[in-house]
Amino acid sequence: MSNLWKVTQTESMGSWLGLQPRLELAQVPANSANPEERATEFVPVEGGRESTSAEALLIVAYCILWVVLFWFVFSTWKRQGQLETRLADLDRRLARARDDAPES
């Protein structure tokens, strides 16, 4: 039978972590002539190595999640402070306008 190209390693973080997928040849067993059997059969690649473990990718994903969450909370807190400052300024202007307005 013919050889199949299999991706032995795919990294979700991509090239910015320096991880590139590797392509290797995996032998399809000669005794599986039926295409349906080949499609459901798991053929492990021997000798391939993973450059990053799943645990490390999970930790990186959680770190990114926490950084984004802290950034969101900080930016919301900062905008809330700016809104409170603008509302206090508006209250002062309205109070001054009321005091300066002639009474009828």
Reported as a single tens digit per residue, the pLDDT across 2-14 is 444 444 444 444 5
Which residues neighbour 41 within 8 Å (Cβ) at sequence distance 6 or greater? 29, 32
pLDDT greater than 70 at residue 40: no
pLDDT confidence of 77, banded at 50, 70, 90? very high
Give 26 or 88, the one with higher predicted confidence. Answer: 88
| pLDDT mean over 55-72 | 97
Mean confidence (pLDDT) of the chain:
76
pLDDT attached to residue 52: 79
Instruction: Select from 104, 95, 13, 102 the least CA-distant residue to 51.
Output: 13
